[in-house]
């Protein structure tokens, strides 16, 4: 009997013990509440065990630190890793990127057409200046070449003048070439 007396001295045992003046109805309610609490606790334990098993089945995520200079391909490498891991995720993004790709294509076509127009205008300028070497194109005034420093600066900054030496070897462009 000594062990029972020792367990009653424990504060936790006293807190969990039923009240000494408990009626039969109170005892029945307490036992039902304990049973509900036990079921709830077992459900929580089961959920924890299922989460633990799911975590063991699924591989742990790998964290990668991509270092490198700008434009060295870090984003491309990351996208390739993601594509290998979950290709379905990129099918949803495909619709979003379609407009960006179309805009880039249109922008590139405009750049090509602008370049062709510049080359065509430069060819016309060369033809008109070769037809009358001492006259300014479109005017009746004599043409005088700019000084060498100005000419050097104009050649280095103007896109069409950088190609002036190769324009003579290019085929003649017509307005039909510029039509879409």
State yes or no: 86 annotated in a binding site: no
Q: Please tell me the predicted confidence (pLDDT) of residue 134.
A: 52
**DSSP state for residue 137 in the 8-state scheme:** T
State yes or no: 73 annotated in a binding site: yes
State yes or no: 42 annotated in a binding site: no
Entry field: residues in the chain: 180
State yes or no: 138 annotated in a binding site: no
State yes or no: 71 annotated in a binding site: yes
State yes or no: 68 annotated in a binding site: no
> How many C-beta neighbours within 10 Å does residue 136 have?
13
Q: Residue 40, SS3?
A: helix
Question: Are 82 and 89 a contacting pair, CB within 8 Å?
Answer: yes
Q: Please tell me the predicted confidence (pLDDT) of residue 149.
A: 47
Q: Please tell me the predicted confidence (pLDDT) of residue 8.
A: 64
Q: Please tell me the predicted confidence (pLDDT) of residue 148.
A: 46
Q: Which two tokens stand for residue 1?
A: 């009997």
Q: Tell me the C-alpha distance between 39 and 59, whole Å.
A: 32
Q: Please tell me the predicted confidence (pLDDT) of residue 169.
A: 59
Q: Please tell me the predicted confidence (pLDDT) of residue 156.
A: 45
Query: Low-confidence residues of the chain, pLDDT below 50?
Result: 1-2, 143, 145-146, 148-149, 151-153, 155-160, 162-163
């Amino acid at each position: 009997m000594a062990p029972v007396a020792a367990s009653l001295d424990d504060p936790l045992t006293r807190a969990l013990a039923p009240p000494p003046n408990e009626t039969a109805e109170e005892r029945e309610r307490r036992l039902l509440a304990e049973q509900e609490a036990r079921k709830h606790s077992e459900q929580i334990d089961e959920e924890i065990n299922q989460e633990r098993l799911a975590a063991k089945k699924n591989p742990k995520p790998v964290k990668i630190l991509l270092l490198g200079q700008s434009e060295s391909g870090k984003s491309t490498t990351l996208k390739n890793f993601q594509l290998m891991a979950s290709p379905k995720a990129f099918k949803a993004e495909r619709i979003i990127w379609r407009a960006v790709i179309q805009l880039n294509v249109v922008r590139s076509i405009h750049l090509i057409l602008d370049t062709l127009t510049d080359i065509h205008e430069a060819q016309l300028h060369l033809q008109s200046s070769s037809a009358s070497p001492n006259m300014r194109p479109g005017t009746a005034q004599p043409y005088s070449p700019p000084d060498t420093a100005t000419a050097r600066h104009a050649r280095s900054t103007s896109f069409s003048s950088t190609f002036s030496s190769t324009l003579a070897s290019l085929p003649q462009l017509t307005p039909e070439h510029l039509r879409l």
